[in-house]
Structure 1
């Protein structure tokens, strides 16, 4: 029987949605899901600071080094009507795709005055987004940094504050371009990274810029009709070489976050993993054949979301259902500022049987 949207639903008490970060990054809880053959998974309630205990000396952790930009802007149309702009992604040095909220849709050729500081031209529509041209001669990301606001996810019921400027970025964020944080990486601090190195494990990096589409719900019951948003990624040669060395040494490739997993698996769909850049709209459902990733560090994801489908494909639907039920009963904190899981890939025979 084909999977439907309701197969990925679960009841979540609203008070378990984390509204703010903890005082320390690695003070988050960590639910370790250890698959057991022919029996129930072992579910270990630990602290994220304990993660290095589950990392072996030949393992490789792959991190997403994207940096969240100040993607939310407020302004007015030439008519005086209020507008709110949320950048989806840059598509050139002075152009971007964006969501635009206004009482009346902006027209092609129209001008928006943003932050009472600069004008952008509406070039047209690209699907659900508006194509905007920013002032020439000024760096797009610098403009956003000066005049934009940090965009928190829609389920955080408050405006971004001073604390979010640092805490909604990973400690290794380098490449600007995301409108949402790769949230699994938010738990890592220098102490955890140092203990991982002490155990002999290695770290590697890639970049995937997370778009605003990551928060868009699946609106079709037939999952075969859903279309993913596109995200741009870059995988360096050093990371490809590190993965090859890890395989040769018998270690595991551990993706830190679903964004790292999406980049790696997308780049390996048509053959061996190669360095380079591209765009992906990969949709990972149960039955997907994973080529690269052996284990995953991830947060807890929204009901009926594509990310919940992804982790169900990776760890098995029954395992994820059991783990989420346990997390709710134990009052774990959910979503971007919430707690984390450590998952091991379920063998493909079990996934195919779903």
Structure 2
């Protein structure tokens, strides 16, 4: 299976640069995963495709403003630091640009010294372990000085940081948003609950590896980055009950999907669990838990495009993507949505 099997032509102007004013007014392409039949709608009409007894699974991770712009204390040279993983209280694995300026011992000042980072170790070419010094609460300092780490195809910073956050974001830890969830408003979620659809939550802290291009020709040679996940007992039980009662489990986003499929036993049952997952889902994978998926439109040749192809078939997906391009759908993080349904 070649990476080039998952390509499509995307005009640059279809890459959405800004979120819509009303989250739920984005367009919705519906795809029957069995027949390939396609429909067009508006996202707030997702209620018409859900049934009482279904279970919607949302990833409640919260994006931290993990992009810090600082200056080297010695020279004043500009340095960008991206927080990737918290190793200990004040020690983070980070991506530093330019990496050459960040040798062990280098000290970087942010916000005129409100936050100072010292490079303590080299992880690999761009990654460094950085120990931070500050007064007060780290999260508050970060909120003041940090920027949202937007994907590389977004060309400007957001006026409102919350637009790169789902309305149900709860646990700090992501370097990128679970973007399929950006289409939901609190009102829409209430409407979904009121019609008898269960809502369960998982947590998966999305790493920047989600944007990392696949650099091998053969899909099977690609190794996924690992990401931290957690599912609580009550949510696991809700999903188990849904399946037992004949309801459908509909995952919101590829991150929720990867969490559920990582946690599930072979028979599809779930239990409370936390850990790290590097699950890679591509065509040929047999899904244990999910029946349907609400997702955005993904980059050509990406692992996310491979995941949706595993669920609905490569031909169905590429056909849907080509139609989406022809119909001028908006693509990627701030773009329109797709519902792959059974």
Q: Shorter-chain TM-score: which interval? A: over 0.9
Contact 2:50/2:197 (8 A) holds in 1: yes
Three-state SS of the structure 2 residue aligned to 1:338 is: coil
CA-CA distance at 1:205 after TM superposition:
0.8
Distance 1:313 1:205, change over 3 A: same
1:36-185 aligned at under 5 Å gives the runs: 36-37=34-35, 41-80=36-75, 81-102=77-98, 104-116=100-112, 117-127=114-124, 128-135=126-133, 138-161=136-159, 163=160, 165-185=161-181
CA-CA distance at 1:139 after TM superposition:
3.7
Aligned to 1:352: none
Distance 1:103 1:294, change over 3 A: closer
Query: For 2:221 and 2:74, how far apart are their aligned partners in 1?
Result: 39
Distance 1:138 1:224, change over 3 A: farther
* TM value normalised by structure 2: 0.94
CA RMSD of aligned residues (A): 1.7
Identify which range, 189-198 or 315-324, moves more after superposition: 189-198
Q: How many residues align?
A: 338
Aligned to 1:351: none
Contact 1:94/1:135 (8 A) holds in 2: yes
Query: For 1:70 and 1:189, how far apart are their aligned partners in 2?
Result: 22
Query: For 1:138 and 1:130, how far apart are their aligned partners in 2?
Result: 24
CA-CA distance at 1:200 after TM superposition:
0.8
Given the alignment of the two structures, is residue 227 of structure 1 paired with residue 226 of structure 2, yes or no? no
Contact 2:266/2:288 (8 A) holds in 1: no
CA-CA distance at 1:62 after TM superposition:
0.7
Three-state SS of the structure 1 residue aligned to 2:87 is: strand
Query: For 1:233 and 1:148, how far apart are their aligned partners in 2?
Result: 24
CA-CA distance at 1:159 after TM superposition:
2.0
Query: For 1:30 and 1:237, how far apart are their aligned partners in 2?
Result: 32
Distance 1:36 1:64, change over 3 A: closer
Unaligned runs of 5+ in 1: 346-354
Contact 1:255/1:296 (8 A) holds in 2: yes
Contact 1:151/1:160 (8 A) holds in 2: no
Given the alignment of the two structures, is residue 194 of structure 1 paired with residue 190 of structure 2, yes or no? yes
Unaligned runs of 5+ in 2: none
